[in-house]
Amino acid sequence: MNILVTGGAGYIGSHTLIELIASGHSVVVVDNLCNSSKIAINRVEKITGTSIPFYETDIRDKEALNIILDKHQINCCIHFAGLKAVGESVSHPHEYYDNNITGTLTLIGALREHGIKNIIFSSSATVYGEPQVIPVTEDCPKGICTNPYGWTKWMIEQMLIDLHTADPTYNVVLLRYFNPIGAHESGLIGENPNGIPNNLMPYITQVAVGKRDKLHIFGNDYDTPDGTGVRDYIHVVDLAKGHVKALNAIQSNCGVEVYNLGTGKGYSVLDIVKAFERVNDVKIPYVIDDRRPGDIATCYSDPSKAWTALGWKAEYGIEEMCRDSWNWQRQNPDGYG
């Protein structure tokens, strides 16, 4: 297929490009580089030995999208583009709703004008709010989000479902990611957060590389085996492969489908710290701080639907996730620079 990849220069998008190309698909990337670098695309080109059509374009710019869609015969859009920092979304809600919601509306408007009705969307486990069932299945009702970022995912899912209701020839796959970490085994691409990392693994790797003194663990009094928060960490390469499988569903006219992309295993913050230290032979000093507002004790997936319906399951374990996260950070202490 010929796939428009929005946000393709970002962390998950760049890894997905590699898997798409390896599976014989063609890609066209649109990214405004607000949270990424063109270097990521250059490195994907190096890894895959291909040349990738790239447009430094904002998805809110409909005229520019129309020109791109006029030029390329696109069959499907994988939509990664969006802002994703939870704390920033609380302080800048307008920017988040504008970028993520207006951006998606503009994008799907341009796609519609070009007859493109196949969409795969990057959603998040955050739409479950405080999940009613653990492990979380796709049947678990969507919950109350604690921040505007989460609400944008919640609302975009609904917008895409409504498109299909009005016109059943739309095929929409909503992929709810759990906690992506790790990097491509080459160490050429990886997660490149701006400023102080919000998420656990990039914070750990920045401690390991000496950019931060110590890790702050947000609470050790949760109702979990060691008191620290439990999450479902998934290797970004496994996550990327999930998108290739989702394309198969699109090609068989799946209508609307929702899939959890996780491993189904929960690890605590301390499990991750210990695994990282053991696998990479580095020390991660840490202190215990207060709980972070909005955090929940435990969240991990039941990923069996993706296995049954798509033939996808995560292959990498926590060791490879820790090894590859460190391999990327060690080779690129300043990310893409």
Minimal CB distance residue for ligand UD1:
229
Burial of 143 (0-12, 13-18, 19+ CB in 10 A): middle
Query: Measured between alpha carbons, how far is 72 from 70 in angstroms, rounded to an integer?
Result: 6
Query: Measured between alpha carbons, how far is 10 from 52 in angstroms, rounded to an integer?
Result: 14
Residue with tokens 């899939």, as numbered in its chain = 259
CA distances from residue 264 to 104, 134, 267 in whole angstroms, order as listed: 30, 10, 10
Task: Provide, rounded to whole angstroms, the least separation between the CB of residue 295 and ligand UD1.
Answer: 5
Residue 32 lies near ligand NAD (rule: CB under 6 A):
yes
**Count of residues for the chain?**
337
Using the minimum distance from each CB to ligand NAD, give the nearer residue, 84 or 313.
84
Strand partners, 176: 123, 260
What residues between 4 and 23 interact with ligand NAD by CB under 6 A?
A: 6-7, 9-13
Residue 84 lies near ligand NAD (rule: CB under 6 A):
yes
Binding partner selected for residue 29 from ligand UD1, ligand NAD, none, CB under the kind-specific 5 to 8 Å limit:
none
Contact assessment for residue 179 and residue 127, using Cβ atoms and an 8 Å cutoff? no
Q: Per-residue string for binding with ligand NAD, 141-180, x by CB under 6 A?
A: ------------------------------------x--x
Task: Provide, rounded to whole angstroms, the least separation between the CB of residue 191 and ligand NAD.
Answer: 7
Instruction: Give yes or no: 149 in active site.
Output: yes
Task: Provide, rounded to whole angstroms, the least separation between the CB of residue 8 and ligand UD1.
Answer: 18
Residues that bind ligand UD1 (CB under 6 A): 84, 86, 124, 126, 150, 179, 198-200, 203, 216-218, 229, 231, 269, 292, 294-295
Contact assessment for residue 192 and residue 34, using Cβ atoms and an 8 Å cutoff? no
